[in-house]
Chains A and B, each alone.
Chain A
Amino acid sequence: DTEVTQTPKHLVMGMTNKKSLKCEQHMGHRAMYWYKQKAKKPPELMFVYSYEKLSINESVPSRFSPECPNSSLLNLHLHALQPEDSALYLCASSTESSGSYEQYFGPGTRLTVT
């Protein structure tokens, strides 16, 4: 199983809502990532978890709150988002965060903030 799954596929939320994005992998990977991708742009790294601990936070606003409940799951909690936060949110995983280990990407959650 080389699949990273993400739910939901699409999400529309208002600026006062609280919602969560979910990511799951069962490849035994110990590194998991959140990326944000705007249309026609490359993915931008947001967070890296290594062995269930947050190892990299790319100065992401606090309205985005990551959580890694166990080695297979990664959540991104959203609160008080702005319309400019609308984007495709991609989750990825790799065996470890260092070295050549390739990242496997999920299909993404397309988020629209109204």
Chain B
Amino acid sequence: GEDVEQSLFLSVREGDSSVINCTYTDSSSTYLYWYKQEPGAGLQLLTYIFSNMDMKQDQRLTVLLNKKDKHLSLRIADTQTGDSAIYFCAEKDAGKSTFGDGTTLTVKP
């Protein structure tokens, strides 16, 4: 079945850039997503990328997709303390989403 993997933890200093990485196995994935989950809350969609794109930028967020290596990354520029959360990578195929285990981002002042 589909598998999505992420590193579990990332710690950065406020103002630095954060890069969260994700790998997936399903080559038929058409859409790849990044979600943010703050403690006690539901998931918030941050951005998504279609599989025929290499890069997507949205304000402080940059998504890079290497389809050959099945590697997806999310770069957050000028990371703030409010960015501390769990970030989930997800792929979607045939109406079903598969999530990675999530990367806990800690931003230190």
Contact: A42 with B99, CB < 8 Å?
yes
Is there contact, CB below 8 Å, between A42 and B101? yes
Tell me how far the C-beta of B87 lies from the nearest C-beta in chain A, rounded to whole angstroms. 11
Interface residues of A, Cβ cutoff 8 Å to B: 4, 31, 40-43, 45, 48, 50, 55-56, 90, 92, 97-100, 102-108
Q: Which residues of B contact A (CB under 8 A)?
A: 30-31, 33, 35, 40-45, 48, 50, 88, 90, 92, 94-97, 99-102
B residues within 8 A CB of A92? Answer: 42-43
Asked if B88 and A48 sit within 8 Å, CB to CB, the answer is: no
Select one of B30, B35, B41, B96 contacting A48, CB under 8 A.
B96
Q: What number of residue pairs across chains A and B have CB atoms under 8 A from each other?
A: 53
Given A42-B88, A42-B99, A43-B99; A98-B94 close (CB under 8 Å): yes
| A2 smallest CB distance to B (angstroms) | 10
Choose among B40, B42, B48, B88 the residue that contacts A102 (Cβ–Cβ < 8 A).
B48
Describe B's contact surface by its main secondary structure: strand
Nearest CB in chain A to that of B102: its residue: A42
SS class, residues of chain A in contact with chain B: loop
Q: Provide the residues of chain B in CB contact with A41, threshold 8 Å.
A: 101-102
Cβ-defined contact, B43 with A90, below 8 A: yes
Instruction: Please give, as numbers and ranges, the residues of chain B lying within 8 Å of A106 by CB-CB distance.
Output: 42
